Amino acid sequence: MHESLSLNRLMKELEQIFEEFPDLRTGNNTQYEISDAGKAAFSVFFTQCASFLEHQEEMQRLKGRSNAQSLFGMKHIPSDSHIRSMLDGVPPKHLEPIYRLVFERLEGEGLLEAFRSYARSLLIAMDGTEYFCSSKIHCDNCSHRERTNGTTNYYHSVLTPVIVQAGNEHVISLEPEFITPQDGHEKQDCEIEAGKRWLRAHGKYYAKRNATLLGDDLYSCQPFCLALQEAELHFILVCKPDSHPHLYESVTFLETQGLLEKSQKRVWNGKHGEIHTYRYANQLPLRAGSDSLLVNWVELTITHEETGEIIYKNAFITDFEVLETSIAAIVRDGRARWKVENENNNILKTKGYHLEHNFGHGEQYLSALLLSLNLLAFLFHTVMSLVDEKYRLLRQALRKRRKFFQHVETLLEYLLFDSWESLFSFMCRGLELDTS
């Protein structure tokens, strides 16, 4: 166990952040502390149990104590309406310190070394995802789009950067950036502008840790690449022909002149042979014009050895020099971008976190704050997978994530536990797991 990353320790750190939440209430309506509202909302996401607070109120009534107190540090359990009204005025940026704290603890314990990839770099995959949509409910922070039938859809979306690594099932959540209308701007906010804000706020910090940003074709435009340079971050970005005609004209010219570098190798995938064909070149103009940024380009085409069918084809731009000795590693890391969708966004939408469910919209920041608490719950679960042996054993024994949380839900409804350690130990004994 890495003590600085124990769940009890992280809960204490999060409690301190909740205590610093701005409390906008006036008058005598202070039955509940603002920190209790934060803890209560987080507890629902962490336990993946919508009825957790209701169960704990009943336990409090019957036993005089509850797991809401012992495990989450709540003094009192606010009602759902109290939680929503108290948290609506809290900007989600108040939670950013806990993301950074977890990152630094992982770094200090040496656990990030196992995530390093080509050139000893940490890969940060960035992608936007929508987490709320309605034709009726909306607030000043909503984006909107007009439908062909004349109705207006209001929605919220967010950038969810995560540390990824090819072949690693875990992703580590970093500070999100919300795509929301910006003061003084007439146009709606967009994913690229949100990405630039994230780079300005966090880019140089992660650049000092030797980080490489991964993104889809949307990000491989000159303004964003210049922002990456300003942040001193490396990059490997998807680059498609239809959105980069000038760059691909250069590729075609080099190929017709016999100057385009090529490499090919056979790979056995466990079922059949594959032919991996690379084409690559350095110092190509990203766009037309004398001010174009020069980037390095590499393309991979995978074909079935026997049938000749194309199994995969994609290309990337990068600031890493592309050489015969580096092409495979650069492409491998570029392809890891998909993990922000598969191991992050899709899990948050389909594996018990219910990312797209409207837990509460509010009039100011509630929707975004609850989303950030949900991401934090996922981050804490990931940390436990990395550092807590009993948690790992339980997840392996129960196999499915949802089954694990169903067991937790049932136990916390009927039994009182003094700590997370005692809960996990109880579960291990019940499943006869060897924790020696």
Backbone φ and ψ for 351, nearest 5 degrees, come out as -115, 40
- Reduce the DSSP state of residue 99 to 3 states and report it: helix
Task: Let me know: does 278 contact 262? Beta carbons within 8 Å.
Answer: yes
The structure tokens listed for 198 are: 């994230």
Phi, psi values for residue 252, rounded to 5°:
-60, -40
Q: Per-10-residue mean pLDDT for the chain, 436 residues long?
A: 89 96 78 93 96 96 96 95 94 97 97 97 96 88 85 92 96 96 68 96 98 97 97 98 97 97 95 97 97 98 96 98 97 96 91 90 94 97 96 95 95 96 96 90
> Could you give the residue ranges of the DSSP H alpha helices within 176-293?
191-198, 204-207, 222-231, 245-256
Residue 237: its H or E element: strand 234-238
**Burial (CB count within 10 angstroms: exposed 0-12, middle 13-18, buried 19+), residue 2:** middle
Q: Which two tokens stand for residue 206?
A: 């992660």
Question: DSSP code of 379?
Answer: H
Phi-psi domain of 354 (left: phi exceeds 0; alpha: psi -120 through 50; beta: other): left
Closest CA to 122 of 194, 203, 201, 196: 203
Q: In this structure, what is the dihedral angle of CA atoms 235, 241, 247, 251, given to the nearest 10 degrees?
A: 110
In this structure, what token pair is assigned to residue 157?
């979306």
Show Cβ contacts of residue 44 under 8 Å, excluding neighbours closer than 6 positions.
50, 52, 53, 359
The pLDDT of residue 189:
78
Say how far apart CA 238 and CA 224 lie, in whole Å.
13
Strands 310-318 and 294-304: antiparallel
Q: Roughly what angle, to the nearest 10 degrees, separates helices 34-47 and 366-387? A: 60
Residue 308 is which amino acid?
G
β partners of residue 329: none
Strands 211-215 and 122-125: parallel
8 A C-beta contact, residue 48 and residue 405: yes
Instruction: Please tell me the predicted confidence (pLDDT) of residue 146.
Output: 87
What's the full length of the chain, in residues?
A: 436
